[in-house]
Amino acid sequence: MGWAIALHGGAGDIPRSMPPERREPREAALRHCLQIGVDAIKAGRSPLDVVELVVRELEDNPHFNAGRGSVLTSNGTVEMEACVMVGDTKKCGAVSGLTTVKNAVSLARLVMEKTPHIYLGFDGAEQFAREQGVETLDSSHFITPENVERLKQAKEANKVQIDYTQPIQRVEEEEESASLPNGDSQIGTVGCVAVDSSGNLAAATSTGGLVNKMAGRIGDTPIIGAGTYANSLCAISATGKGEAIIRATVGRDVAALMEYKGLSLEKAAAYVVGECAPIGTVGLVAVSANGQVTMPFNTNGMFRACATEDGYTHVGIWQD
Partner 1 sequence: MGGWAIAVHGGAGVDPNLPNQRQEQAKQLLTRCLNLGISALRSSHSAIDVVELVRELETDPLFNSGRGSALTAEGTVEMEASIMDGCGRRCGAVSGVTTVKNPISLARLVMDKSPHSYLAFSGAEEFAKQQGVEMVDNDYFITEDNVGMLKLAKEANSILFDYRIPTLGMESSCSAAVENPLQMNGLPISIYAPETVGCVVVDSQGRCAAATSTGGLMNKMAGRIGDSPMIGAGTYAGELCGVSCTGEGEAIIRGTLARDVAAVMEYMGLGLQEAVDYVIKKRLDHGFAGMIAVSSKGEVAYGFNSIGMFRACATEDGFMEVAIWE
Nearest Cα neighbor of 96 from 83, 109, 106, 84 is: 83
User: Which of 50, 72, 160, 195 contacts partner 1 by CB under 8 A?
Assistant: 160
Residue 6 CB, shortest distance to partner 1, in Å, is: 22
Count the neighbouring beta carbons within 10 Å of the beta carbon of residue 310: 9
Distance between CA atoms of 288 and 320, rounded to whole angstroms?
Answer: 22
Backbone angles phi, psi at 54, to 5 degrees: -65, -45
Distance between CA atoms of 204 and 227, rounded to whole angstroms?
Answer: 9
Strands 119-121 and 92-98 turn out to be: parallel
User: Which of 31, 42, 130, 261 contacts partner 1 by CB under 8 A?
Assistant: 261
Stretch that binds partner 1, among 39-47, 84-92, 144-152, 309-317 (CB under 8 A): 84-92
User: Which of 65, 165, 249, 288 contacts partner 1 by CB under 8 A?
Assistant: 249
- Interaction between residue 96 and partner 1 (CB under 8 A): yes
**CA 41 from centre of chain:** 20
**Helix (H/G/I), strand (E/B), else coil: 303:** strand
- Interaction between residue 31 and partner 1 (CB under 8 A): no
Q: Is 189 a catalytic residue?
A: yes
**In the range 161-190, which residues lie near partner 1 by CB under 8 A?**
182-184
- Interaction between residue 280 and partner 1 (CB under 8 A): no
Terminal C-alpha separation, the chain: 25
Nearest Cα neighbor of 297 from 316, 284, 307 is: 284
Q: Which of 99, 165, 189, 221 is catalytic?
A: 189
Residue 251 CB, shortest distance to partner 1, in Å, is: 9
- Interaction between residue 70 and partner 1 (CB under 8 A): no
Q: Nearer Cβ to partner 1, position 30 or 95? A: 95
- Interaction between residue 132 and partner 1 (CB under 8 A): no
**Helix (H/G/I), strand (E/B), else coil: 157:** helix
Catalytic residues: 189
Binding region for partner 1 (CB under 8 A): 90-92, 94, 96-97, 112, 115-125, 127-128, 160, 182-184, 213-219, 223-226, 229, 242-243, 246-249, 252-253, 256-257, 260-261
